[in-house]
Each structure stands twice: as C-alpha cells, then as structure tokens.
C-alpha cells in the first residue's frame, strides 16, 4: 500500500468513449505533495507518510508548525495529511509526489467532505415517505411519524433516524477509475462523482477493495 495524494475538486464534466457514449467524470487537481514526515514501526508503531499540499504564508503558521516543516526542508503547507503505507523507507523527506505516479485505468478511492445542508427533516434527510396529504391529515404531511413505543421500552432508541443536521460529513467513494491524466496541470480525471463542493479538499488513494476489471 503506497501513500495517497491530496488535491482539490474542480468540478464535473463528461468525456466520450470511442463508441460515442458519454461518461460523467470529475476533474481533480491533485498535488504536487511534499513528504513532510516519515513514520516507521520501530519508532511509532506503524508505517505512514505525512504529506503537505499547497504553500501558505509562513506568517499564518505557529512556531511549532514552522519547525515541523523545517525538519523536512519543505515550505509551510496549507493541508497536512497522513497516509498509512507498507514501508515508509521507500520515501524521502522533502520528496515531491505528483499525478505522474498514477496511470490511466487505475482504480482509486476518493475521500471528501460532503456539502452541508443544514437542519433537514426526515423526508429530505432519510427519504421518509411522509404522512397523508388528505383524509383529515393536519400538519403531518412531512412529519417523521411514530418514533417508539409507550411503556416498553419507554424511550427512544439511540441512532433513531430523525430530523437533524444533514451533510458536512466525511465520505469515501470507492473504486473510481482514472480516465485521464494531465501532468502539466496536475489534473486527475476520474469517472463518476466525488463528494464535496467545487474547490474542496479531497484525498486520493489506491482502492482498498478488489473489483472486477
């Protein structure tokens, strides 16, 4: 298992196959990422690589953060993310990772932060059917309905699907295929959709589950 990559979601478009079929794709600006720290089994109990993405003004970082990047001789970055790997000895401090490390038709997993929807009712949040629209229904058209019993158990179970905050959650989409790569512009184009708004930070790594090619 190798280290993943950090990037941003630029938006969606479509590409056409040789047969003329339209395939929806997401354009990701991935890397370049700098290796900031290496962790190994002996010293830390696990092997991992810390990657930094996007330069930021040093004045916006605290003194300990500046020192952390100075050890790797890397400029202060805006995003810092750790990826577990099989062997961190394969990497070097200050090394730069780019989209050139990926190949077309590679299967990847992409993690992002979903768009926040604020407070939402049961119908929008969970897809509830809702109440009747007629036959004496009064202000119950979009209500959740019954949420439990009376004396037994006399309470509402935990994790009951109800109204509440919707979205703004970490979500991973599995098994997306790399459709195209642009090394000059650091673009990675994957099939399907990716969670998050335009410009949001995403994390790309090799697929963790085997799929039929």
The structural domains of the chain, ordered by start, are: 1-31+98-126+161-213 (2.40.30.10), 32-96 (3.30.160.810)
User: Does pLDDT of 212 surpass 60?
Assistant: no
pLDDT digit string (tens) for 112-134? 999 999 999 999 999 999 999 99
User: Does pLDDT of 169 surpass 80?
Assistant: yes
Residue by residue, DSSP assigns 101-164 as G--TT-EEEEEEEPPP-EEE-HHHHH------SSTT--S-TT-------SSSS-SPPTT---SE
Q: How far apart are CA 208 and CA 84, in angstroms?
A: 12
Contact 193, 173 (CB under 8 A): yes
Q: What percent of the chain has pLDDT above 90?
A: 75
Three-state SS at 61:
coil
Contact 197, 8 (CB under 8 A): no
Nearest to 47 by CA among 85, 5, 80: 85
Contact 91, 166 (CB under 8 A): no
pTM of structure: 0.86
In the structure, what pLDDT confidence band is assigned to residue 210 with cuts at 50, 70 and 90? Answer: low
**Tokens representing residue 212 in the block:** 């039929």
- How far is the CA of 128 from the CAs of 114, 121, 141, 143, in angstroms? 21, 9, 11, 9
């Amino acid at each position: 298992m190798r280290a993943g990559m950090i990037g941003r979601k630029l938006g969606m478009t479509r590409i056409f196959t040789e047969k003329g079929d339209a395939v929806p794709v997401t354009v990701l600006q991935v890397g370049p990422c700098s290796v900031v720290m290496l962790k190994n089994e002996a010293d830390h109990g696990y092997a991992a690589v810390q990657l930094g993405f996007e330069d930021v003004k040093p004045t916006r970082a605290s003194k300990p953060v500046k020192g952390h990047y100075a050890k790797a001789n890397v400029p202060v970055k805006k995003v810092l993310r750790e990826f577990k790997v099989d062997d961190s000895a394969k990497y070097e401090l200050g090394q730069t990772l780019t989209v050139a490390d990926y190949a077309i038709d590679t299967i990847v997993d992409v993690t992002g932060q979903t768009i926040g929807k604020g407070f939402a009712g049961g119908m929008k949040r969970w897809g509830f059917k809702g109440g009747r629209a007629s036959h004496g229904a009064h202000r119950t058209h979009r209500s959740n309905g019954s949420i439990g019993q009376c004396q037994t158990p006399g309470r509402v179970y935990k994790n009951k699907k109800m109204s509440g905050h919707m979205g703004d959650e970490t979500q991973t989409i599995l098994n997306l295929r790399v459709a195209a790569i642009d090394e000059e512009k650091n673009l990675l184009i994957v099939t399907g959709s990716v969670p998050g708004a335009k410009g949001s930070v995403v994390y790309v790594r090799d697929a963790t589950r085997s799929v039929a090619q």
